[in-house]
Amino acid sequence: DAGITQSPRHKVTETGTPVTLRCHQTENHRYMYWYRQDPGHGLRLIHYSYGVKDTDKGEVSDGYSVSRSKTEDFLLTLESATSSQTSVYFCAISGGGQNNSPLHFGNGTRLTVT
Amino acid sequence: TQLLEQSPQFLSIQEGENLTVYCNSSSVFSSLQWYRQEPGEGPVLLVTVVTGGEVKKLKRLTFQFGDARKDSSLHITAAQPGDTGLYLCASRWGATNKLIFGTGTLLAVQP
């Protein structure tokens, strides 16, 4: 298995509080991604990174920010959590820029906003 | 906006039956990937198809990329309970390395 660790694995937080999810990789891969998964929507891309300090928005980036200060860590922050952000969050990594490079996923973080 | 639409959304079948799930888009893709996700885990890549009309087989799974590279199908022969899971298609968004996923097909194979 690709070396991807997401933390925490589960979190319950209150509306309006800030939350940061961490993705750590040991593969030295260039590309890192944050997705959210909700019933009926498959996986939706929030943000992705194509290198240290290089990030770009995905399909559902509103309400989220990211940072990548070093290759191995990609942080996802919810500045002020809302109930609509209750979801399962997956981090993924990819080594190549080729069109058919596969993604390797972590095991997810289940976030509940009450 | 979901660029990749999958059908059916849910499928419950008996062990030994055959099934086909579909992934469709109005856009042309240079390549398409299929993933399977089991409960509590992240998706795992099954196959990548690149060429229009391409057919790839993975044991009892047959993947096909449409001639126009706007659709793909996954056919499972003699389904087993171990095939149960969420099947997702995915492709790159435009000229970027953003990988966009379809809506998914949740398959349950009953013993």
Q: Going residue by residue through chain A (114 aa), what tens digit of pLDDT does each one get?
A: 569 999 999 999 999 999 999 999 999 999 999 999 998 778 999 999 999 999 999 989 999 999 999 999 999 999 999 999 999 999 999 986 565 788 999 999 999 999
pLDDT number for residue A49: 94
- Beta strand ranges found along B1-111 (DSSP E): 5-7, 10-14, 19-24, 32-37, 44-49, 55-58, 61-65, 71-76, 85-92, 99-101, 105-110
Cβ contacts of A101 on chain B, cutoff 8 Å: 97
Q: Mutate one of B10, B50, B69, B99 to test the A interface: name it (highest A CB count within 10 A).
A: B99
- Which of B45, B93, B101 is most worth mutating to test chain A (most A CB atoms within 10 A of its CB)? B101
**Range scoring the smallest mean pLDDT among A72-76, B64-68, B72-76, B96-100:** B96-100
* CB of B6 closer than 8 Å to CB of B23: yes
B42/A106 CB distance under 8 A: yes
If one counts every other C-beta atom within 10 angstroms of the C-beta of residue A9, the result is: 12
**What pLDDT band is residue B31 in, cutting at 50, 70 and 90?**
confident
Task: Give the pair of three-digit tokens for residue B36.
Answer: 């399977």
Q: Tell me the mean pLDDT in the region B39-61.
A: 93
Q: How far is B17 from chain A (nearest CA, A)?
A: 25
Distance between CA atoms of A87 and A36, rounded to whole angstroms? 6
CA within 13 Å, CB half, A66:
28
Position B27 scores a pLDDT of 85
pLDDT at A98: 60
| Alpha-carbon torsion angle B27, B29, B34, B39, nearest 10 | -50
* pLDDT on residue A97: 59
Binary contact (A100, B88; C-beta < 8 A) = no
